Structure 1
Amino acid sequence: MRIIFMGTPDFSVPALKALVEAGHDVIAVVTQPDKPKGRGKEVQMPPVKEQALEYNIPVYQPVKARAPEFVKLLSDLAPDVMVVAAFGQLLPKSILDIPKHGCINIHASLLPKYRGASPIQYAVINGEKESGITTMMMAEALDTGDMLDQAKVTLDLKETGGSLHEKLSQIGGSLIIKTLNKLEDKTAVRIPQDESKFTYVGMIKKNMGDIDWSMEADVIERLIRGLNPWPSAYTGWNGKVIKIWEADVVDKEYAGAIGEVVETGKDCLVVKTGKGGLSIKELQMQGKKRMDIGAFLRGYQIAEGTVFERSV
């Protein structure tokens, strides 16, 4: 099939690779413009662009994909289908109507649950037992189109946003091939989403990681995992920010203030939460490297009675 692929971040790369390796004719790749990143503000290409250039596939980077001149360019390419995976721009009807087989989105949730920008993180934050990939026909409204295929994955007890991202990225690459095969042999079945069951999740913002110690310990522990690696969960201590990368729930009630360090030891630091305690296992002082709790406590003295605070 003649395919235009639209995607931008690391998540999209396995799908592009799968399309090429399956023998599909990827006639063009559309991705977001190069952007400055890091402290040096060096301009970097999106991961999808880097992969496309390795395959010698023409790359287009419109500031606005809906611009009439770009819509015409896509139409002139005459694709059979467009495959979209975390492209980063909403596509208008003028684009959705171009391919004869439509535009297919690779979405990182089991729709209709978790429409929107952050399904991976929220699956972890909300304590879901399973997640997955849905391939779907794209519609004008975000993530509302008919479903084509789904593949499920069980979350590990210590699943993070990063580890689930990697799993679903790989699954997306294999599932899109299955879906395209069905489209080609006319066995694809369109399944409308149940509008009574949908949930929506917006963009992850950095301040979501500012730990509210009045929440229950298991809620905080899931937040830490869901926001790993970005933007990370964090707390305030002595005017500095400490990122918390891993913690365990302690099913025990403690006296003292919310956010207070209630147990310490050679390899132990437990904080009182709204319900239960949180035993911190890995953390990172502002401007320093990540450390396990034992190494951290050898360098920093945090006594029982210390109270961690919100950073805002």
Structure 2
Amino acid sequence: MRVVFMGTPDFSVPTLEKIIEAGHEVIGVVTQPDKAKGRGKNVSYPPVKEKALEHGLTVYQPKRAREPEFIEQMQALAPDVMVVVAFGQILPKAILDIPKYGCVNVHASLLPRYRGAAPIQWAVIRGEAVSGVTTMQMDVGLDTGDMLLKAEVPLEADETGGSLHDKLSTLGGELLIETLKGLEAGTIQPEKQDDSQAGEYARMLDKALGKIDFSMAAAEIERLIRGLSPWPSAYTAYKGKTMKIWRAEVSEGNEGVPGQIISVDKKGFTVMTGDKALHVLELQMEGKKRMDAGAFLRGCHMAEGEMLG
């Protein structure tokens, strides 16, 4: 097939690589504009652009996908299919109508349960037992198009947003190749989404989401910590400085108020929550490296009764 690939972050890269490996003709790669990063404002390429240039592919970086010039460029390419993986812009109907086989999206959840920008992290935060990938025929709605194929992945007890991201990124590429084969052969029966099965919208992540509220149950906080690892991370405050918590486990707690340190041991410390307690095992203090809580305690005197937050 003649493929236009649209994607931007690391998550998109394995799918682009799979398309190339499968022998499809990638006639163009569309990604977000370059960004200036850091104090020096050095220009940074999106990961998809870096991979595309490695393969000598033509790259397009429209500020807005609805620009007439960009639409004309895509029409001139006359792709059989457009593959969209975390591109980061809403596509107008004028783009969706161009390819013979439409615009196929690789979505990192089992639709329609997790529509939205951050389905991977919210699946962990909300304690799902299973996640997965759905390929979907895009329409003008947000993740509302007809479903094509699905593949499931069980979540491990210690699953993080980062580990699930990597699993689904790889799986997405494999499922997309199956989808292209099925579309070309005419063997896929698109399935409409049941809107009544859609869960709470998987909204975009921000740093404020990571602020730990110790009045929540320990199990909820522990899932938040895993879901927001590695970004934006879950955090609290200790002695006026930000403390990121990277790993913890639910434990039985003695009486105390939420946020109060109720015990300290060689491996870490335990803080009271709204339901049970949280044993903190790995953390990072402001301006310091990530470390085991035991190592932190060897260099910092923490006492029972002190407060976090």
TM-score in terms of structure 1 length: 0.97
- 1:201 corresponds in structure 2 to 202
Quick check: 1:163 aligned with 2:169?
no
Contact 2:82 2:103 in 1 (8 A): yes
CA offset digits 1:80-115 (Å, max 9, x no partner):
000000000000100000001100000000000110
Tell me the residue number matched to 1:6: 6
Whether the 8 Å contact between 1:223 and 1:233 is mirrored in structure 2 is: yes
Q: CA deviation at 1:253?
A: 3.6
Q: Deviations over 1:201-258 (max 9, x none)?
A: 11111111000000000000000000000000000111110000000000x2421221
Aligned-partner Cα distance in 2 for 1:155–1:233: 20
Residue number in structure 1 paired with 2:230: 229
Whether contact under 8 Å (2:269, 2:293) holds in the other structure is: yes
Quickly say closer, same or farther: Cα 1:156–1:39, change in 2 above 3 A: farther
Map of 1:102-251 to 2, 5 A cutoff?
A: 102-199=102-199, 200-250=201-251
Structure 2 CA distance for aligned equivalents of residues 292 and 40 of structure 1: 33
Alpha-carbon distance in 2 for matches of 1:242, 1:261: 14
Tell me, in whole angstroms, the C-alpha distance in 2 between the residues paired with 1:257 and 1:108. 38
Q: What SS does the aligned partner of 1:115 have? A: coil
Q: Deviations over 1:36-77 (max 9, x none)?
A: 223443211000000000110100000011111110110010
Give the counterpart letter for 2:280 in structure 1.
I
d(CA) in 2 for partners of 1:191, 1:16: 25
Q: Deviations over 1:3-36 (max 9, x none)?
A: 0000000000000000000000000000000102
Residue 125 of structure 1 aligns with an amino acid whose one-letter code is I
Matched, 1:264 2:264: yes
**Secondary structure class of the residue paired with 2:229:** coil
Deviations 1:96-145 (A, max 9, x none): 00001100000000000110101000000000000000000001001000
What letter matches 1:196 in structure 2? S
Q: Is the 8 A contact 1:7 1:84 kept in 2?
A: yes
Give the Cα separation in 1 of the matches to 2:237 and 2:297.
Answer: 16
Question: Identity of aligned pairs, percent?
Answer: 60
Q: Tell me the distance in 1 between the aligned counterparts of 2:255 and 2:39.
A: 43
Q: What is the alpha-carbon distance in structure 2 between the residues aligned to residue 66 and residue 300 of structure 1? A: 55
- 5+ residue gaps, structure 2, are none
Q: What pairs with 1:45-56 in structure 2 (closer than 5 Å)?
A: 45-56=45-56
Mapped to 2, the partners of 1:242 and 1:123 lie a distance apart of 24
**Unaligned segments of structure 1, at least 5 residues:** none
- Do structure 1's residue 293 and structure 2's residue 293 form an aligned pair? yes
| Root mean square deviation, CA, Å | 0.8
Give the Cα separation in 2 of the matches to 1:275 and 1:42. 47
CA distance in 1, matches of 2:147, 2:39: 41
Whole-Å separation in 1 of the counterparts to 2:127 and 2:39: 34
The CA distance in 2 between the partners of 1:39 and 1:146, in whole Å, is: 44
Misfit runs of 4+, over 4 Å: none
SS of the equivalent of 1:296 reads helix
**Separation (CA, whole Å) in 1 of partners of 2:168 and 2:92:** 26
User: Partners in 2 of 1:293 and 1:268 — Cα distance?
Assistant: 5
Q: Amino acid of the residue matched to residue 213 of structure 2? A: D
Cα distance in 2 for residues equivalent to 1:217 and 1:202: 23
Residues 1:41 and 2:45 are matched in the alignment: no
Contact 2:110 2:132 in 1 (8 A): yes
